[in-house]
Amino acid sequence: MNATIIQAVNDALHEEMGNDEQTVVFGQDVAESGGVFRATEGLKEEFGGERVLDTPLSEIAIVGSAVGLATHGFRPIAEIQFSGFLPPAFDQLVTNASRIRWRTRGELTAPMVVRTPYGAGVRALEHHSESLESIYGHVPGLKVAIPSTPHDAKGMLISAIRDPDPVLFMEPKHVYRSYREDIDEGTYTEPLGEAAVRQEGEDLTVISWGAMMHQTLEAVENLADKGVDAEVIDLRTISPLDKETIVESVKKTGRCVVVHEAAKTGGFGAEIAATINDEALMYLEAPIERVAGFDVPVPLLSMEDYYIPPPPRIEEAIKDTVAY
C-alpha cells in the first residue's frame, strides 16, 4: 500500500483497534469529523462510538482520564490536536502518566499513547508549530517517539499502543502528506528506542528526526555530488535514546551534525552532543554542530519558513564540520 504519513497513522489505528478490543481512541474532533488532519478517519464508523469518542476542549481531562482508563485495563490512544496545546496537560503527563507505575510500585500501569502533530510549516496560527520534544524527553518514565516516514509511522505507532508504558507519539505534521512510500499491509511493528541508519557513510554522522529528516536528507544528497560521504541517522525515539547507534557511528566518522527544529538552547541536540562527549570525545575531530531553530517562539506564518532550518543551512554546517 502506497501511503503518506497521515495515511500510515490512520492505517495503524485501524489495524490495532481491530487487533485489540481494549483500545479506545479519543480527543477533540476525532470521531465525527475524523480529526482535523483526518488521522482518525473511519474509526468511529468501524469501531463504534464507545471506542471512538469526541471529547470536550479539555487537554487536562484528555490526558488525565487516559491514565485512569489505562489503569483499568484499557489502551487509550488520545489525540492532542496540536502539540502547542499539550502544555495545559503537561502536569498530567509529569505528575500522573509518567509515574503511575512508579507511584504504585507496578500495581497500576498506564499503557497509553498520546498522539500529537508537532512542528512548523503548515501556515497555521500561533501555537500550532511547536517542537518541544526535549522537554518531554526530560520526563523520566515517559517515552517520546517521532517517526519520519510512513513505514515507521505505522510500525512505531503500533508498538507505542502495545507498549506497557506511556508513549508520547509526536507526528511530523509538516510532512503528513508530502512524502509517500510503500508500506506493508496488515500489522507490523517497528521498535521504540532504536534509531535507524538511513545511509551509511564515512565522513561524518548527521543525526535528525521527524520532519527535519527530509530537509537533512536533501542537504546530504546535495553534498553527495560534492564528495561528502555522510552517515545519516534517524533518531526515531527521543526517549529512551539509542546511544549505541549514535556513538558507534561517531566513533567511525569522528564528526557530527545534529539537525532539529526546536529552539537550540536546551533542545535535544544538547543531549546528543553531551552523550557523544561522554562516550566518544576522543574520536571527535570537529565540534558537533547543532543546526536548530532559533531561541525564539516559532514566528507567525509569514516568516515561519525562515525559522525552520532549510537544506542550505544544513549544508553549510556539514561543510564546516567536514572541513574543520
Partner 1 sequence: MDNSPQSISPPSVDVGVDPISQGDVEIETYQVVRPDGSFDADRVPDVDDEALRDLYRWMLLQRVYDNRATKLQRRGRLGTVASGRGQEAAIIGSGFALSQDDWIFPYGREAGALLMHGLSMRDLLLYWRGIEDASKMEGANIFGMAISIGSHIPLATGKAWGMQLAGEESIAFANLGDGATSTGAFHEGMNFAGVLDAPAVYFCQNNQYAISLPFEKQTNADTVAQKALAYGVDGIRVDGNDVLAVYNAVSKARERALEGNPVLVEAVTYRRGAHTTSDDPTRYRSEEEVDEWEKRDPLERYQAFLEETGRWDDIDEEAIREEVEEEFSAAVDAADEFEERGIEEIFSYLHEETPPELQRQLEEFRELLEERPDMYEYIETRPKG
Ligand X SMILES: Cc1ncc(C[n+]2csc(CCOP(=O)(O)OP(=O)(O)O)c2C)c(N)n1
Residues labelled catalytic:
128
Round to whole Å and give the CA distance between 95 and 114. 15
Cell numbers that stand for 287 in this block: 565540534
Report if residue 81 touches ligand X, rule: CB under 6 A.
yes
Contact 144, 239 (CB under 8 A): yes
Q: Candidates 5-13, 93-101, 154-162, 202-210 — which segment interacts with partner 1 by CB under 8 A?
A: 93-101
Length of the chain: 324
The residues, any chain, with a CB within 8 Å of residue 41's CB and separated by 6 or more, are: 10, 34, 35
Binding mask 96-135 for its own copies (x = CB under 8 A): --xx--xx----------------------xx----x-xx
Q: Candidates 80-88, 145-153, 270-278, 303-311 — which segment interacts with ligand X by CB under 6 A?
A: 80-88
Binding mask 117-156 for partner 1 (x = CB under 8 A): ----xxxxxxxx-----------xx---------------
Report if residue 261 touches partner 1, rule: CB under 8 A.
no
Residues 297-316 that bind its own copies (CB under 8 A): 297
Cell numbers that stand for 245 in this block: 547507534
Place of cell 569522528: 254
Minimal distance, residue 316 CB to ligand X, in Å: 36
Minimal distance, residue 185 CB to partner 1, in Å: 27
Contact 116, 86 (CB under 8 A): yes
Q: Candidates 8-16, 80-88, 166-174, 211-219 — which segment interacts with its own copies by CB under 8 A?
A: 80-88
Identified binder of ligand X from the candidate list 46, 57, 184, 244, rule CB under 6 A: 57
Residue-wise over 41-75: b if at least 16 C-beta within 10 A, else e?
Answer: bebbeebeeebbeebeeebebbbbbbbbbbbeebb
Identified binder of its own copies from the candidate list 112, 273, 291, 317, rule CB under 8 A: 273
SS3 2: strand
Which of 196, 212, 311 is closest to 268 using CA atoms? 212
The DSSP line for 188-230 is: ----TT--EEEE--SSEEEEE-TTHHHHHHHHHHHHHTTT--E
Identified binder of partner 1 from the candidate list 8, 25, 43, 70, rule CB under 8 A: 70
Identified binder of its own copies from the candidate list 29, 38, 87, 124, rule CB under 8 A: 87
- Interface with ligand X (CB under 6 A), residue total 6
Place of cell 495503524: 12
Q: Candidates 43-51, 159-167, 204-212, 260-268 — which segment interacts with its own copies by CB under 8 A?
A: 260-268
State how far the alpha carbon of 73 is from the alpha carbons of 14, 69, 111, 145, 225, in Å.
20, 7, 9, 23, 54
Identified binder of partner 1 from the candidate list 20, 42, 312, 324, rule CB under 8 A: 312
State the residues that interact with its own copies by CB under 8 A.
84, 87-88, 90-91, 94-95, 98-99, 102-103, 126-127, 132, 134-135, 137-138, 140-141, 239, 241, 262-263, 265-271, 273-274, 276-279, 281-282, 284, 286-290, 295-297
State the residues that interact with ligand X by CB under 6 A.
28, 57, 59, 81, 85, 88
